[in-house]
Amino acid sequence: MNKGQCLCGDVQWQLSAEPYMIFNCHCRMCQKVHGAAFGTYAFVKADQLKWLSNTKNVVNYQSSHKLTRSACNQCGSVVPYATNQPDTWVVPAGNHHQLRKPDYNIFIEDNAPWHTLNTDSPGCETYPDAADLLVVDGLPPVKECGLPESPLTGSCLCGDVTFEVSEPLKLARNCHCSRCRQGRSTAHACNGFTSFEAVTFTSGDDRLKSFKVPDARFFTQVFCKKCSSLLPRKDAERKISIIPLGSLDTDPGIKTGDHIFTDDKAGWYEITDELPQYNQSPPAPVA
């Protein structure tokens, strides 16, 4: 049996069959929900998904008139939900270690300027023909970097939470640790780092919710209570801000520069780019 769970463990499920389709979706809505370059979804029939926990902590957000997404309201992880096709569910692959590699990269026309596209799976501009899914209206592309004259901006999917970043990002990296995979519900997190002071929430800071992994020193996930999109975390102790890059509406002007904690990498994901890889924590601390 192939078990999956959210970051906090309150929502658990298992798959009884091999998914009939798996893809990495690079659309801007998935970027925001996952705070990353893409979300990875495995498709199964309704009777192939069994809940192993109750689902009282599952919250739903209707992201378009054709699609309602679900997440854990304790930790912000994406959890399985029904699609707009009869009898069909999607399961976030980041919450599973063992699956086959994704069949496609989809919506690659929306690929973020800060992300180097993985070439291990064929790319499609929207959905592959085989998917037989309805294309939903997307979000506008990210704007060019306005720094230093104007700040970077970002927002959650529902738009209630907005923020600005007044300084350039110091660096950005792809993290494959198991907490990032479960929390972001995809292959890896894409995190940008800047100073504590640089990030200001311009609306909706009363909508922010955070979940700290109990046995972690720092690992805390910040998300919107309404749409569960991942949002920046201001870490007063380390005097840094960590920005899930998928939340940005402007190009930060740098790309993710390496892969870290690759010892924890999902079994179903191959790294195809030439970026440096570190099997554990990166060599230099974030300044």
CB of 159 to Zn ion, least distance (A): 7
Smallest gap from residue 75 Cβ to Zn ion (A): 3
Confirm or reject binding of residue 27 to Zn ion (CB under 5 A). yes
Contact between 112 and Zn ion (CB under 5 A)? no
Strand 88-92 to 199-203 pairing: unpaired
Contact 132, 247 (CB under 8 A): no
Asked whether position 198 contacts Zn ion by CB under 5 A, the answer is no
State the Cα–Cα distance between residues 66 and 13, nearest whole angstrom.
24
CB 199 within 8 A of CB 163: yes
Quick one: which of 42, 91, 142, 227 contacts Zn ion (CB under 5 A)? 227
21 lines the binding site for Zn ion (CB under 5 A): no
Smallest gap from Cβ 28 to Zn ion, in A, equals 8
Among 71, 190, 224, 231, the residue binding Zn ion under the rule CB under 5 A is 224
Hey, what long-range contacts does 70-73 have (CB within 8 A, 24 or more apart)? 71/33, 71/223, 71/228, 72/6, 72/7, 72/8, 72/10, 72/11, 72/228, 73/209, 73/225, 73/228
In which residue are the tokens 């069949």 written? 103
For Zn ion, the closer CB: 44 or 158: 158
Q: How far is the CB of 181 from Zn ion (least distance, A)?
A: 14
Nearest Cα neighbor of 94 from 221, 212, 7 is: 7
Residues 158-187 that bind Zn ion (CB under 5 A): 158, 160
Residue 245 in the binding site for Zn ion (CB under 5 A): no
Please, which of residues 144-163 interact with Zn ion by CB under 5 A? 156, 158, 160
- Per CB under 5 A, the segment of 2-10, 234-242, 251-259, 274-282 that binds Zn ion is 2-10
Buried b (16+ CB within 10 A) or exposed e, 165-186: beeebebbbbbbbebbbbbbbb
DSSP-assigned letter for residue 121 = S
By the rule CB under 5 A, 91 interacts with Zn ion = no
Among 14, 53, 55, 74, indicate the residue that binds Zn ion (CB under 5 A).
Answer: 74
Euclidean distance between CA atoms 125 and 280, whole angstroms: 34
The contact set with Zn ion (CB under 5 A) reads: 6, 8, 10, 25, 27, 30, 72, 74-75, 156, 158, 160, 224, 226-227
